[in-house]
Chain A
Amino acid sequence: MDSGLNAELDLARQRLKLMIDAAGATCGWEWDIPAKRLTADARFAAITNQDPLVLAQGVSTEHFFNAIHPDDLKRVKLAVAGILGGSALFSREYRLLRDDGGFRWVHASGRALYDDNDEPVKFIGMLVDITEQKRTQERLRIAQVAGGIGTFEYVSGYGTINVSEQFCRLFGLHPAKVLPVRTLNLLIHPDDNPIINLQNPNGFQDESNAEFRITRPDDGAERWLARRGEYVDDIEAEGRRYIGVIFDVTDAKRTQQRLREANQALAERARESIQERNRVWQNSRDLLVVIGTDGVFRDVNPAWSTILGTEPQAVIGSRVLDAVWPEDRDQIRALLKDVIENLHSDLEIRLTHRDGTPRTISWTTSHEGDVVYAYGRDVTIEKEQRAALQETEAQLRQAQKMEAVGQLTGGIAHDFNNMLTGVIGALSVIRRRIAAGRLDELDKFIDAATSSAERAAALTHRLLAFSRRQSLDRQSLDVKQLVSSMEDLFRRTLGEQVELMINIAADTWKAVTDPNQLESAILNLVINARDAMPEGGKLTIETTNAALGEADLAQKESLQPGNYVVIAVSDTGIGMSQATIDKAFDPFFTTKPIGQGTGLGLSMIYGFAQQSGGHVRIYSETGLGTTVKLYLPGSHEDVAAAILDEDPVYVPPRGEGEKVLVVEDDASVRMLVVDVLKDLGYQVIEAVDSNQAIPLLEGKERIDLMISDVGLPGLNGRQLAEIALSNRPKLKVLFITGYAATAASRGDFLAPGMEMITKPFAIDDLAQKVREILTGQAEA
């Protein structure tokens, strides 16, 4: 029975223990201080592994410390000593060993009871199993530290607040368990909410989430903290307990702030950018246009009305083509397609002004998305000015050309008249001598006439070549032979500094061309080549054949496909730029210093080549040299030459032995005049220029008439006449001139007793004039 009872008792104990384990129930004790006796309830006994019956009856106070973990024992004993010594409160957490070898955490809370003399007489209290709570606390602590979360508890009506260590760290304070609320509130920015509002100490705190700035006392830094919390019922006293957490939200706040600032800055920039765009749109003098891909104006800026007379409102929504100048619409329709399809395009379009006239607009467009942005500049006036300028330039060039031609022809006419005079005079002499039966010395005059005529012909050729209207003496010509025959001439022309190479292909065809012109052209090219090599170099003349097909011919060249003889003249000189090449064939274009070139050389060669049915090409590299290739049609045919006829006979009046002074610098003209006068029965004295003439005039010799060329070297004919008249006031003077300008102002030029005859003149006319002067029949 006893054993059955004991078994039942054990069972009951176990059940109780399980209950204690499950419920975490409290277990009380009472310590009688003067009697030094401890009594405790069954739960206390169970949790400390003691006999409940014994404990209920009272035991020595040593039993209080039963089952306490050895590591905690001293701490607990100290605390108990405090209570026994007079401390009011006992509050300790420690470990109790279990009979299975493990331990549990308990919280022991107790207090002392005093007698009338304030001496402690009883120490009562209870244990609470807080193992689970400890674990939770530990987890909470770890979470708080890891999350940087500080906790606090505030009991309504108190001036202080219970805080965690992390809480103090967040506030930058020395760790403490209790802090004055005022202290915390003073650390909070005055504009922000306090952590606890003490205005109404016993009232409720605002439970909503709060954020505030604090200045940390330890490092002076300003931080943002957030508070979250709620009220729970106070389990220890009446009233309520506000439990909450704080955490640092500075980074988030700063990020927010930066984000806000960035947004503001962005908005500001966007606004400025829009304003800027608007200003540009409004104030632009040029057209700014937005066009849809359907070819309709989406928007145009106010410049439209300035440039085209129509208000933007009237333009927006209309078709682009309607604004285009009617004549250009077909062309623009295609271009507009390009603009819409391509990304970029530059084009010039004429638009119609409201007054019905066209305006030329230069457009730059860019296609973005489904619209085309176009920027247009009015170039109407610019275009007109450009055209006017071009016209003026052309006129100026023409005027310059005409002036040059005038100068040139003036000079040429003088030379040409001299030559004709030689021919005509000689022929007259021959005729007279034949008529007189004097057939000796005729050869001299025939030669003189021929020589003069040939010189005149050469000059004419040059002029014709210049005007590109020369009549070519085209014949089948052996180019090889011609070039070879000129070799001596080249060498003399080139001097020692230039090395000459002549490469003649043996199979070079004959060319159909004019031998003289070709000779002149080649010589011209050689001289140009020489002048391109002032420091010396190598000059090469080659002849080859070229069979040119369509493909070989450059555009704009007038050359036809066919067989050509090519004469190439190359130098190793300074070369020409493309700009120079482009202008090289223009008349009067020259790169040589003034006075050293006429600018006609290449121009004449070009004319000659064109007329021959050939061409000239220039190949040049600046600094390396130049090759000019002359293309002449190759051929095997001969060309016949023409023959000239002669004039009928005439007898001029004769002289009567009067003495005549002839002053003329052209030897053949002088010889001719002298011979004619002698033949007519005059005595003749000759002088080449004024220097020879003046001593004769100052001398005593009889002189009835002075015949003088106007264009003499040194003192001219007019000045010589002045000197002559000052010595011999009655002297008669006859001027010979080939210069039309002088003849045109005959009245101003001639003093009384002076006459003028214009070259070229017939010998008979000269005889007639001399006779008239000497017999005083001249009208002056």
Chain B
Amino acid sequence: MTQAEIFLGELERDALTEVVNIGVSRAAASLRKMVNKQVILSVPSIAIVTRRSAAALIGQRESEGLIAVQQHFEGPFSGRALLIFPESNGLSLARAIVGGEMTEDELIDMEDEALTETGNIILNGCLGSMANMLQHSLKMSLPDVLRGDSEHLFDVLETSNEDSFVLFLYINFSVREHDIRGYIAMIMDLPSLDKLKMLIADFIERVT
């Protein structure tokens, strides 16, 4: 049903999931330290879809505006990674990180900063671990914050290039006592995906 099955065999999918899972676990550990609360990051579900499908996937699930932390990465495979929350989750996450001492106004001032920090930890942890497991390194840009609907985040309207695919990871951020959920998306073009696939195959070869 999804493009992932076309691109990746079952074992490759398992391997990619595992690689991502390692990254997410690292990120969760970092997050757990930051918010000092139980953080459950679900095992991610993986899909490789077009940008349009990715936008629809999130649009279906989220009725409100979105907020995203974005980082570009370069290496054997290049693209950009997005950590996406529903807009209203931004403040909750900020509150979870900075604690209950701050007023609402102070929180709003802090929001972008808190999100940038959170995104940096999660995306860095995630991508870094992946690169590490695949025995390569990635160069990461500084994070920036985007707001808008899913089509805007995935540049659906500006891009007619069907080569652009999205490695779409749905991760449930269940932060206890805070209703927070989010998505991680990695937008890559076809050559990058092919390269990722080769690296996955190497990884499978190594560990099995």
Contact = CB atoms under 8 A, between A and B. Distances in A.
Interface stretch (A71-79, A226-234, A404-412, A659-667): A71-79
B129 interface: yes
B29 interface: yes
Nearest to A185: B63
B21 A82 contact: yes
Interface in A172-193: 173-180, 182-183, 186
B179 interface: yes
A85 B60 contact: no
B61 A73 contact: no
Contact of B22 (A73, A87, A182): A87
B29 A88 contact: yes
B133 interface: yes
Contact of A79 (B18, B60, B170, B172): B18
Contacts of A78: 11, 14-15, 18, 204, 207-208
B127 to A, nearest CB: 13
A464 interface: no
Given A173-B61, A174-B57, A180-B61, A77 B208 contact: yes
B63 A182 contact: yes
B45 to A, nearest CB: 6
B42 to A, nearest CB: 6
A91 B63 contact: no
B183 to A, nearest CB: 11
Interface in B1-48: 1, 11, 14-15, 18-19, 21-23, 25-26, 28-29, 41-43, 45
Given A73-B208, A174-B57, A201-B179, A89 B43 contact: yes
A88 B27 CA distance: 10
A176 B45 contact: yes
A159 B14 contact: no
B43 A157 contact: no
A160 B61 contact: no
A86 interface: yes
Interface in B129-144: 129, 132-133
B14 A158 contact: no
Interface string A146-166: 000000000001111000000
A282 B172 CA distance: 75
**Interface residue SS majority, chain A:** mixed
Contacts of B26: 86, 118
B180 A81 contact: no
A159 B25 contact: no
A557 to B, nearest CB: 102
Contacts of A74: 11, 204, 208
A82 B18 contact: yes
A217 interface: yes
B152 interface: no
A88 B18 CA distance: 11
A198 B174 CA distance: 15
B76 to A, nearest CB: 18
Interface string B180-205: 11000000000000000000000110
Contact of A158 (B1, B29, B170, B174): B174
A770 B23 CA distance: 167
Nearest to A112: B25
Interface in A396-427: none
A82 B19 contact: yes
Q: A82, A177, A217 — which one has the most chain B CB atoms within 10 A of its CB?
A: A82
Nearest to A92: B14
A118 B132 CA distance: 15
Given A160-B181, A180-B61, A217-B60, A82 B174 contact: no
B109 interface: no
Interface in A74-110: 74-75, 77-82, 85-89, 91
B207 A77 contact: yes
Given A78-B207, A201-B179, A178 B14 contact: no
Contact of B11 (A75, A158, A180, A217): A75
A87 B207 contact: no
Given A81-B203, A81-B206, A173-B60, 15 more contacts: A74-B11, A77-B208, A78-B18, A79-B18, A80-B207, A81-B208, A86-B26, A88-B41, A89-B25, A160-B172, A175-B1, A177-B42, A180-B86, A180-B181, A183-B60
23 contacts: A75-B11, A78-B11, A78-B14, A79-B14, A81-B206, A82-B18, A85-B18, A85-B22, A86-B26, A87-B25, A88-B29, A112-B25, A158-B179, A159-B180, A160-B181, A174-B61, A176-B45, A177-B42, A178-B42, A180-B181, A183-B60, A201-B179, A218-B60
Interface of A: 73-75, 77-82, 85-89, 91, 112, 114, 118, 157-160, 173-180, 182-183, 186, 198, 201, 217-218
